[in-house]
Structure 1
């Protein structure tokens, strides 16, 4: 156990790093942690609510590690950089909070895992929804037998992303850059949480056999999926189906349908709402912050909520997605463009992901004309 006030450094202080800075700032003000370094290759954005103040700023993570000797390094950089930065941080004696997806292949996972074992450090992966108390209540109900034997888990997500979303970085919407596969499709990036949550509910088992995959794109300039579904069977005998779109007319936050032999449950993982068998309305639950959990792991030996081991099966699914060819382009007769910052809408995409999740089927099996 390490009862010292943790020294925190952040690599990737812009973009999603702003979220981490907002998480860190009230804890810093309360004296629960020290922010000892910010690192980014671009100029770090200033914000009145999350001031840089006298925090040292770096553009090279190795120099930052040498200069600041952090206890915890938060990494919110593009996925291809995760392995070298996380490895360097652990070899400098730091625990790591690593944004999702942790790595892009099982080979990289093995290399990162080896460094974790070699150094004895901890790696928390940023699948925040695993900290949901609704998720815990669902697992408790399953273990108590309220759903009987688990048979299927399905996830439906329908969001919108405008054209500007694909201009947010040089690698956005790309399948690869400089020979490196990029995790930026709907399955690999915004809905990575959907896959991890479904795998965790299904029991954290490895997959058994091939993963079936359907990936589509609705913009000619984009090389990754904006509408996709995957299905697989895990070694516990549970079918997992994840169906998502960024081209939906109707918003579906991220609905998880859990079916057992004795009952069904519904969980909306982004909002922590859960309806168990016998309940008419969903209940609202809270969430444990993963940085707080990592700090308590250091200080008191509390178990990690989203440790690296838990991300292995997800990494196998991600590897399958990234190695798939450029997705098929949907015929424009099934598409609409709306808004000043245009959003592309796919006919009945929201209905398709919902039916796929509930029925455990891929789009092509449901007869949608664009599939």
Structure 2
């Protein structure tokens, strides 16, 4: 078995984690970091010297990699800006490379449809880096459900509370933007920071181990508390699948306290609780309790292993693809269609201040309790009769053709 040659586009921000994961996995003998694209080699001179010293090829542009990398590169990792995902993935596949694309796959359904079309035309693959779809616990949960042990899944709900400071939004040109570089970004909590947890629920509701659930309709509310961004930072969504399962999602970047995501899956024969650290508890109506964790399997690394295994023909199917994440994109696009606009929360309700760590922070007092209540009652925020919340309409997303908020 020959080693799979990985290239990574970039060295800063999330690209750094790609480089570390591949280099740590090299000891397994299945893959090797062989090339890196560094556009700004002056300001990254130390990193360029380090990589060259290890024998890794350095390219000054993505185009140069595509033209000259065939001798050493099999899979290109794209931890790049959200607006460029589809274009760069398609270019890479058309040039003859397999692609590992960071989540979210693309801002619009039409972009992901173009990626699916390119996969079929080129025979190349595009694996999506939704790490928890590669995790031991999520896959074990889905098999448990598909085996009928939870009965019929009635509802799945998740919530998460992650503050995001000004430094987070200042880190690049597209953070906190709805549009950047002339393209849609939709950089809200559902589409970026908490995207894994929405995708988990849609995947778990799918009818087999490789599919996500087909969605029937969407209702969503998008709010903004930070005074200096244009995207949403406090959002909730309700989905209904074609099989009747309800999915609820509540996320905020303006909480009073940080709390990691938690998910509940309710079936006719019991309930599953899953936490971000992958601690999982199944409580069946017959009194049986089953608990498990990730058994030491790091899903971030599994993303790379599965892509390498697919390239080596050791597995038939990738875990996470443009096709089985399309319904995640449908959910996001449908959310914007439903909300119609991002509603600014009145600034007299918001607190913006320098916290004890010196970070400029935005908080909406009381939002934590409101989300807890909405989660418990399976309601959207406007259903709680909050003064600043705005009721929205259901949007039918069956056979969803495309998303264009500029019409």
Contact 1:215 1:328 in 2 (8 A): yes
Alignment correspondent of 2:171: 168
- 1:208 deviates by 0.5
Q: Structure 2 length as normaliser, TM-score?
A: 0.84
- 1:368 deviates by 3.6
Q: What is the Cα-based RMSD across aligned positions, in Å?
A: 2.2
Alignment correspondent of 1:61: 62
Alignment correspondent of 1:206: 214
- 1:184 deviates by 1.2
Matched ranges for 1:84-163 at <5 A = 84-163=87-166
- 1:296 deviates by 1.1
Alignment correspondent of 2:281: 275
Alignment correspondent of 2:231: 224
- Aligned CA distance change for structure 1 residues 34 and 141 (closer, same or farther; 3 Å): closer
- 1:153 deviates by 0.6
Match of 2:294 among 260, 285, 302: 285
Report the more deviating stretch, 139-148 or 253-262.
139-148
Match of 1:188 among 166, 188, 191: 191
Gaps of 5+ in 2: 207-211, 390-407
Deviation beyond 6 Å, 4+ runs, structure 1: none
1:72 aligns with 2:75: yes
Alignment correspondent of 1:329: 344
Structure 1: distance between partners of 2:105 and 2:52: 27
Structure 1: distance between partners of 2:109 and 2:17: 28
Alignment correspondent of 2:396: none
Match of 1:17 among 4, 11, 15: 15
Structure 2: distance between partners of 1:164 and 1:354: 27
Alignment correspondent of 1:34: 32
Structure 2: distance between partners of 1:103 and 1:152: 26
Structure 2: distance between partners of 1:172 and 1:290: 24
Structure 2: distance between partners of 1:366 and 1:45: 54
1:360 aligns with 2:378: yes
- Aligned CA distance change for structure 1 residues 52 and 322 (closer, same or farther; 3 Å): farther
Report the more deviating stretch, 86-95 or 155-164.
86-95
Contact 1:157 1:244 in 2 (8 A): yes
- 1:46 deviates by 4.7
Structure 2: distance between partners of 1:90 and 1:118: 9
Structure 2: distance between partners of 1:42 and 1:361: 48
- Aligned CA distance change for structure 1 residues 141 and 12 (closer, same or farther; 3 Å): same
Report the more deviating stretch, 141-150 or 254-263.
141-150
Contact 2:126 2:322 in 1 (8 A): yes
Contact 1:142 1:148 in 2 (8 A): yes
- 1:325 deviates by 5.1
- Aligned CA distance change for structure 1 residues 24 and 186 (closer, same or farther; 3 Å): same
Report the more deviating stretch, 332-341 or 18-27.
332-341
Structure 1: distance between partners of 2:195 and 2:20: 22
Structure 2: distance between partners of 1:192 and 1:231: 15
Structure 2: distance between partners of 1:365 and 1:46: 54
> What does the per-residue CA deviation read over 1:281-324, in whole Å, with 9 as the maximum and x for residues that have no partner?
85322444111011112221342111221111011122234566
- 1:246 deviates by 0.8
Aligned to 1:247, the other structure's residue is in SS state coil
- 1:175 deviates by 1.4
Aligned to 1:344, the other structure's residue is in SS state strand
Q: How many residues align?
A: 366
